[in-house]
Amino acid sequence: MLPAIAWKANRVVMIDQRKLPLKEIYLEYRTHGGVARAIKTMVIRGAPAIGVAAAYGVALGVLAWKSGENIDRAFERITRRLQGTRPTARNLFWALERMRRTFEANRNLTLARLKRRMLDEARRIEVEDLATNEAIGRNGRDLIPDGATVLTHCNAGELATAGYGTAVGVIRAAHEQGKKIRVFSDETRPFLQGARLTCWELDRRGINVVLITDNMAGWFMRKGEIQVVIVGADRIARNGDTANKIGTYTVAVLAKEHGIPFYVAAPMSTVDPGLETGAEIPIEERDPGEVRKIGGRFITLPHIPVRNPAFDVTPAKYIAGIITEKGIFRTPYCFGA
Ligand code: MRU
């Protein structure tokens, strides 16, 4: 299996996550517009993977420039297109800001050298994300006791990152320590990232995974079958409030009620230094069709109104710790510069 995203001979290759686990299809993109569509339509998803895709999208846009191009105007056009794809994932904007800094620092070079620098920076973002996730795994693995059942929600694994995963990375690192671990994966309605992606990844890695529907978590907690919860994050405010896949908040409240530690695992690039609290995090509202249908078939009357927020915000008071590559942060949160 290739990683979720890879750069190959001036093309970006992605596994089509909409088709998993039934089909393993790889799609190639040669333009920044193609990458923007891939992000918007969830060919690639998961905050860190979206960040890597956006960086490669910018690189593809810049590589297409001809001499005599108004590069400032062209750069704005490319970033605006990519910015408009998914509003909640902080890593998208973080990666675009990094690409902008590289552009500004190198815009007076020859076009050929500027192109090289932009591609190098996108590659660095990918390589660093993998190393970051491995560090998150090392920092978090001791939080999982031997013999524990871990609940996770959505997919914060290798498909959602440049590799290894964040929440799933912590689980993998504990598994690699030789601990016997069982994972309960919430199915994660409506896009089914848990059922389709997390189960697929863990099964391939030889980690014991059990699929549950989203409404079962409370019951298993009450029965003492879950010892720890670990999820990823799409955006973290300065006070630790965390946006993640819709349903995460419910799981966090349930965990608190049952005295089960609830951890978030995420790279520092998911922390938004511009936001004081989670109330400021923009929440993406997706197509109602995702709720009305399963597998392309209506499960309700087509005219019934639907709400489909893709994320919710878990207040910091429910979070036992945020596991990052720099260590584990706890309340009161101070993520530093
Ligand atoms: O809508 P998605 O699939 O992009 O949402 C993904 C999540 O909510 C993940 O939990 C989060 O991005 C962390 S991925 C390491």
Ligand 1 within 6 A of CB of 286: no
Share of the chain above pLDDT 90, in %: 98
pLDDT in tens, 23-36: 999 999 999 999 99
Answering whether pTM is above 0.85, one says yes
Cβ partners under 8 Å of residue 326, min gap 6: 268, 336
Atom nearest to 86 CA in ligand 1: 4
pLDDT value, residue 1: 67
pLDDT in tens, 188-231: 999 999 999 999 999 999 999 999 999 999 999 999 999 999 99
Atom nearest to 266 CA in ligand 1: 15
Ligand 1 within 6 A of CB of 192: no
Q: Residue 2 pLDDT > 80, yes or no?
A: no
In angstroms and rounded to an integer, the radius of gyration of the C-alpha atoms of the chain is 20
Ligand 1: centre distance to CA 145 (Å): 25
Ligand 1 within 6 A of CB of 245: yes
Taking the C-alpha atoms of residue 13 and residue 16, their distance in angstroms, rounded to an integer, is: 9
Q: Judge whether 234 counts as a catalytic residue.
A: yes
Amino acid (1-letter code) at residue 331: T
Ligand 1 within 6 A of CB of 314: no
Ligand 1: centre distance to CA 17 (Å): 12
Question: Residue 298 burial (CB < 10 Å; 0-12/13-18/19+)?
Answer: exposed
pLDDT band at 336 (very low <50, low <70, confident <90, very high): confident
pLDDT in tens, 267-316: 999 999 999 999 999 999 999 999 999 989 999 999 999 999 999 999 99
Quick one: three-class SS letters along the chain?
A: CCCCEEEECCEEEEECCCCCCCCCCEEEECCHHHHHHHHHCCCCCCHHHHHHHHHHHHHHHHHCCCCCCCHHHHHHHHHHHHHCCCCCCHHHHHHHHHHHHHHHHHCCCCHHHHHHHHHHHHHHHHHHHHHHHHHHHHHHHHHCCCCCEEEECCCCCHHHCCCCCCHHHHHHHHHHCCCCCEEEEECCCCCCHHHHHHHHHHHHCCCEEEEECHHHHHHHHHCCCCCEEEECCCEECCCCCEEEECCHHHHHHHHHHCCCCEEEECCHHHECCCCCCHHHCCCCECCCHHHHEECCEECCCCCCCCCCECEEEECHHHCCEEEECCEEECCCCCCCC
pLDDT value, residue 209: 98
Asked if 28 and 10 touch (Cβ cutoff 8 Å), the reply is: no
